[in-house]
Structures are given as structure tokens and as C-alpha cells.
Amino acid sequence: MSMIAGHLEPYLVLSSLLFSIGAFGFLARRNAISMLMSIEVMLNAVNLAALAFGAFMPTLAGQGVAFALLIIAVAAAEATVGLAIVIAIYRNRKTPLVDEYDAMRQ
């Protein structure tokens, strides 16, 4: 396992920052596409954290990489299905804004 110079903390700070941005984006943006993008940001923030742990903690070596690969696969599937759903809803409701998707409420 190749070693990277530096410390673990900056990676985790960056990861937390990215996750917070993603979470904020998911909660605050009304556009369904933007929300999907925010999810991608959060997933990648988690990926970064996992890889950083894998690189700096000898006990987790290898597991971080495996975990990240798994998340990438899930993220790809999620993006596909998510986009398909968004397009289907858009065709029905003629709007990308999620706060107007209130059919479940009635």
C-alpha cells in the first residue's frame, strides 16, 4: 500500500465540507436535477473520507478502497434511476420543482 504524505485531518475537513455543501444543496434547492447533483456531491464526500481512512489507517487498508468502489457503483445506479424518475415526473407535471410534486399528499 503506497503511502501519501501529510495528515488525515485535511482530507476529513474537505470531506465534511463537501458533505455539508451537498446536504445543504439537497435540502435547499427546489430543482430536482440540482438535488440529484447534491446527492452525488454527498456520496463523493463520503468516498473521499473512506479513501482517506484507507490510506492513513493501516488497519483499514484496502477496505476503504473497496468501500469507495461499492459507493461509486451504487451512485451510478442511483443517478440512472433518479434521472429516469425525474424525467418521468417532469413529463407528467411539466415542472422540475419538487415542492410542486404533492400528489402523495392528497
Q: Which residues bind other proteins (CB under 8 A)?
A: 23, 26-28, 30, 35, 98-99, 101-106
The distance of closest approach from Cβ of residue 28 to other proteins in the complex, given in angstroms and rounded to an integer, is 8
Choice between 1 and 104, CB closer to other proteins: 104
Give the C-alpha separation, 47 to 62, whole Å: 13
User: Residues with Cβ < 8 Å from 12, sequence gap 6 or more?
Assistant: 49, 52
The distance of closest approach from Cβ of residue 4 to other proteins in the complex, given in angstroms and rounded to an integer, is 28
Give the C-alpha separation, 4 to 8, whole Å: 10
Choice between 13 and 97, CB closer to other proteins: 97
Backbone angles phi, psi at 94, to 5 degrees: 55, 30
Choice between 26 and 90, CB closer to other proteins: 26
